[in-house]
């Protein structure tokens, strides 16, 4: 069962991109009956290994900027450790309730992205671009407005957004056990000014780094998990991810995005039943 559920996550990751990892925790909590805190810890292993595996292919194509990935991951470790602490501190119902909200937000954002005509022609996975993300041409306009309000030499303008984004994504990863690729990619595009292809490739080692540090934080607070179940789930995700990536090139991006949004909303409704 763990292996089969892992293939579902892998297919989602391959078809729609990094946001597919958001369905990992619901599948662990629901069909496998794993407690919420343990499920978020297992998700860190599954997401981290899958991201590390995928980053190898992007690195071969020259789409990974390791300096950015290491810097983002190092700063984000502050957030991952804090997120792991809060994960342990809150009751399971609060944790799952917050996760349901996160899933609903992600599903709505994915549906909105799928409805955009410009993104239907894009080869970029829909789940990696937020609903309010701007194109590269719009980003300079945003920075120009910010520079008009702040001194040209203001360090906050150059480094503040990067620090906030890194810590915020780390906090999300540590608390919910998700990769946060749907936030990392636009942060790298708008803040670090990377092209979309490099932002996607660089986000993968960041997810792996964040997952590793968050996992250390979880284990440090006494949360344990079942290694064999985690290994089988991860194996299914990695293998199915390859098939999902191949299938994604044969299906319309809008169809994939809307279908994934429906799946996420369905799982969110299912997970909400576990809360009540």
Residue 152 has pLDDT above 60, yes or no: no
Q: Quick one: pLDDT at residue 8?
A: 86
CB contact at 8 A, 169 and 75: no
Crossing angle between the packed helical segments 196-220 and 66-89, to the nearest 10 degrees: 40
Q: What is the mean pLDDT of residues 61-86?
A: 87
In contact, 258 and 127? CB cutoff 8 Å: no
Average of per-residue pLDDT across 98-126:
67
Instruction: Give percent above pLDDT 90 in the chain.
Output: 6
Question: What digits encode the pLDDT tens for the residues 119-142?
Answer: 444 444 433 333 333 333 444 444
The larger pLDDT score, comparing residue 186 to residue 51, is at: 51
15 token code pair: 């078809």
How confident is the model at residue 162, as a pLDDT?
A: 74
| pLDDT value at 143 more than 70 | no
Strands (E), the chain: none
Which of the two residues, 93 and 106, has the higher pLDDT score?
93
Residue 128: its pLDDT value, please?
Answer: 38
Q: What is the pLDDT of residue 229?
A: 92
What confidence score (pLDDT) does residue 186 get? 73
What average pLDDT score do residues 33-50 get? 89
Mean of per-residue pLDDT scores for the chain: 76
In which band, very low, low, confident or very high, does the pLDDT at 20 lie, cut at 50, 70 and 90?
Answer: low
DSSP codes of every residue in 106-162: HHHHHHHHHT-HHHHT--S-GGGS-TT---TTHHHHHHHHHHHHS-TT-HHHHHHHH
Domain housing 153: 2-275
Condensed to tens digits (0 to 9), the pLDDT of residues 173-206 reads 888 888 777 678 777 877 777 887 788 788 888 8
Please state the φ and ψ torsions of residue 101, each to the nearest 5 degrees.
Answer: -60, -45
* Ranges 15-19, 30-34, 63-67: which has the least confidence: 15-19
Spatial separation of the C-alpha atoms in residues 176 and 154, rounded to whole Å: 34
Q: Under a CB-based contact definition with an 8 Å cutoff, are residues 237 and 50 in contact?
A: yes
Span 237-241, mean pLDDT? 84
Distance of CA 150 to the CA centre of its chain: 31
Residue 195 pLDDT? 80
88-92, 125-129, 157-161: which range is least confident on average? 125-129
pLDDT at position 18: 57
**Count of structural domains within the chain:** 1
């Amino acid at each position: 069962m763990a292996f089969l559920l892992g293939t579902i996550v892998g297919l989602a990751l391959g078809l729609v991109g990094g946001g597919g990892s958001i369905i990992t925790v619901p599948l662990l909590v629901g069909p496998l009956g794993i407690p919420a805190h343990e499920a978020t810890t297992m998700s860190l292993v599954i997401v981290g290994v899958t991201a590390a595996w995928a980053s190898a292919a992007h690195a071969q194509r020259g789409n990974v900027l390791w300096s950015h990935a290491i810097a983002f991951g190092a700063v984000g470790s502050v957030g991952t450790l804090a997120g792991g602490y809060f994960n342990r501190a809150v009751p399971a119902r609060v944790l799952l309730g917050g996760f349901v909200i996160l899933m609903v937000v992600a599903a709505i954002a994915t549906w909105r992205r799928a409805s955009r005509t410009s993104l239907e022609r894009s080869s970029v996975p829909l789940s990696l671009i937020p609903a309010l993300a701007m194109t590269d041409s719009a980003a300079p306009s945003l920075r120009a407005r910010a520079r008009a309000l702040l001194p040209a030499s203001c360090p906050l303008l150059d480094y503040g957004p990067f620090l906030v984004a890194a810590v915020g994504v780390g906090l999300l990863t540590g608390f919910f056990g998700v990769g946060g690729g749907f936030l990392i990619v636009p942060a790298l595009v708008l803040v670090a000014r990377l092209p979309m292809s490099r932002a996607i490739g660089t986000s993968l080692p960041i997810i792996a780094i964040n997952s590793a540090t968050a996992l250390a934080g979880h284990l440090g607070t006494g949360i344990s998990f079942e290694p064999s179940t985690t290994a089988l789930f991860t194996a299914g995700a990695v293998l199915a991810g390859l098939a999902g990536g191949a299938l994604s090139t044969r299906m319309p991006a809008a169809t994939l995005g809307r279908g994934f949004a429906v799946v996420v909303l369905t799982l969110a409704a299912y997970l909400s039943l576990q809360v009540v």
